[in-house]
Amino acid sequence: MILAIDVGGTKMAAGLVSDDGTVAGSRRVATPQGAGAEELWKTLLALVEPFGPADAVGIGCGGPMLWPSGEVSPLNMPGWRGFPLRARLEAMYGEARIHNDAVCVAAAEHWRGAGQGSANMLGMVVSTGVGGGLVLGNRLIDGGTGNAGHIGHVVVEPDGPPCGCGGRGCLEAVARGPALVEWALAQGWKPGAAAPSRDAVPYEEDRAVTGRTLADDARAGDEVALAAFRRAGRALGLAITAATHLCDLDVVTIGGGLSQAGSLLFDPLHETLREHARMEFARRVKVVPAALGQDAGLVGAAALILAADRYA
């Protein structure tokens, strides 16, 4: 039984994971916004304290980070810049391994999820960002600095919108949830007009407009909302085309909030793949929804320790 930790800008999660990848118990807490380095650390300590001692700890954390040393500077957690997260947890638990949170999700899907049994897999997370991790020849691929798997920055529209990375036309700039919403609003989308929310409360200006609102409207037939998902699905298809030609993949798993949009996103994705991935080896790639839910990050962080032959 080891401890797994999953740290992001919105929430922190921790749990005990058994040798077969089962999460035996987990806790979550909102990441304090605007907090300094030590306040963030205390929040994490309070989260893990009830689990007591553990043999080792596996950590998933938002990037970037220095890797494998694990000084983290998560984009969405300004309080941690070069914070020695791995070293502090190693001092407490004796052994600690860390990787990018999206890489952990990919490891989890390969170990215990929709990528089980495949030797060559890309695991993607499509949410407020677009990230991923690569498993090739049954081994997690780190790359030179632990940053392999950044499919969110494959360029899908060379003259497309600016990206948070400083580039332009990246997959993430087109297909992250907020980008879909922003694009649809700019095209004249009126949120909730086509599909009042599930509990029949009409859309109000002060309500958060999310990819879910957009998906509801798309399902209700809103043309702009549908076009937003087509654009994102096409972008995903182009990036997966790049990945499978480069890496000769067996499977791509797609998780994260926006992937809940289902066929709204997957249909244009598959159509684009059929159009651009034509050689026999490229046609065989299977693109499937991720199988693990919100525990994926914990399972993957645990895999860094429990299945180190493949993931560490």
| CA separation, residue 276 to residues 53, 245, 271, 272, 279 (Å) | 51, 10, 9, 6, 9
The reply to whether 271 sits near its own copies by the rule CB under 8 A is: no
Cα-based angle 135, 138, 142 (whole degrees, multiple of 5): 40
Which of 64, 78 has the CB closer to its own copies? 64
Q: Which of 91, 284, 294, 308 binds its own copies (CB under 8 A)?
A: 284
Q: Which of the residues 67 through 96 are near its own copies (CB under 8 A)?
A: none
Which of 213, 244 has the CB closer to its own copies? 244
Window of 2-10, 53-61, 180-188, 277-285 that interacts with its own copies by CB under 8 A: 277-285
Window of 2-10, 30-38, 255-263, 280-288 that interacts with its own copies by CB under 8 A: 280-288
Site string for its own copies, 211-250 (x = CB under 8 A): -----------------------x---xx-xxx-xxxxxx
Q: Which of the residues 110 through 129 are near its own copies (CB under 8 A)?
A: 118-120
Nearest distance in Å: CB 189, its own copies: 23
Q: Which of 1, 35, 37, 141 binds its own copies (CB under 8 A)?
A: 141
Q: Which of 34, 50, 117, 166 binds its own copies (CB under 8 A)?
A: 166
Nearest distance in Å: CB 287, its own copies: 14
Which of 222, 250 has the CB closer to its own copies? 250
Window of 17-25, 54-62, 138-146, 220-228 that interacts with its own copies by CB under 8 A: 138-146
Which of 225, 251 has the CB closer to its own copies? 251
Contacts to its own copies by CB under 8 A: 64, 118-120, 134, 136-137, 139, 141-158, 165-170, 234, 238-239, 241-243, 245-250, 275-282, 284
